[in-house]
Chains A and B, each alone.
Chain A
Amino acid sequence: AQKITQTQPGMFVQEKEAVTLDCTYDTSDPSYGLFWYKQPSSGEMIFLIYQGSYDQQNATEGRYSLNFQKARKSANLVISASQLGDSAMYFCAMRQDTGRRALTFGSGTRLQVQP
C-alpha cells in the first residue's frame, strides 16, 4: 500500500523568504508520480507541480520547485520568495502507474505567510 506523510501540520514564513514543505512517501511500485497541490480557504485544489519517479531532474514551476530524493523517498516542495497569497493548505500526493491510479494524499501542511 502506498502512503504519504507530511509531518508539518503548520508552518510560518516571512514574506519574500523561501520555505520548504516536507513530504515523504512509501510505495513498492517502481513507477509513480508525485504531485503538490495548494488548497486556499475557498476549497479548490490547485495543481502546483509534478515529478515522475524516473525523472532525472527536479521539477520546477515558477517559484515552486520539488526537491526529489528518490533514495530517501522524499519529495519536498520549495516555495521561493513567499507571497501573502501563498497562505493556504498544501497537499503532497502520489499516484502509482499500475493498479489503482488514484491520488493518495498526505494530511497537508497549513502555510501562513506573514508580512
Chain B
Amino acid sequence: KAGVTQTPRYLIKTRGQQVTLSCSPISGHRSVSWYQQTPGQGLQFLFEYFSETQRNKGNFPGRFSGRQFSNSRSEMNVSTLELGDSALYLCASSLARATSYEQYFGPGTRLTVT
C-alpha cells in the first residue's frame, strides 16, 4: 500500500509570490491534516480536512488556505509569501477523525522563501 505522497518535495519562492502544495493520502484515508515545522516554532497544526470540508484550523493568517477534493487529495495554498513561511510542510492522513486512528505523515515539502 502506497504511503502519503507530497509534491513537490522542494520549492524555492520569492517574497510576495504564492505557492500550492499537494498531498495524496493513503488509499482509503479520508482525513488529511497539514502541519508546519520550523526550527523556532516546532510543529504547528495548520488545518484538517475530512470529506472535502475543513474541520479544524490552526492559528495561522488567512494567507494560508487549503482544500480537499473528492478523491481525498488535498492542496494547501500560501499567498503573499513572507520569509517566515520558510518551513517544512507536512501532510498527514488518517482513516477517520477519531483519536484511535493513527496519522501517517508524508515526506514533506521544504519551502524556502527568499
Chain A residues in the interface with B (C-beta under 8 A): 31-33, 35, 37, 42-47, 50, 52, 91, 93, 95-97, 100-108
For the residues of B in contact with A, the DSSP-based class is: strand
Answer yes or no: B16 CB below 8 A from chain A CBs: no
Do A44 and B45 have beta carbons less than 8 Å apart? no
| Contact status of A52 and B42, CB under 8 A, knowing A101-B56, A102-B58 | no
Q: Are B105 and A44 in contact (CB under 8 A)?
A: yes
Judge whether B42 and A108 touch: CB under 8 Å: yes
Note all chain A residues with C-beta closer than 8 A to B43: 91, 93, 103, 105
Contact B100 A52 (CB under 8 A): yes
Q: Mark out the residues of chain B between 90 and 109 whose CB falls within 8 Å of any chain A CB in the assembled complex.
A: 90, 92, 97-100, 102-108
Minimum Cβ distance to chain A for residue B81 (Å): 20
Kindly identify which residue among B35, B90, B100 contacts A33, using a CB–CB cutoff of 8 Å. B100
Q: Is B13 on the interface with A (CB-CB < 8 A)?
A: no
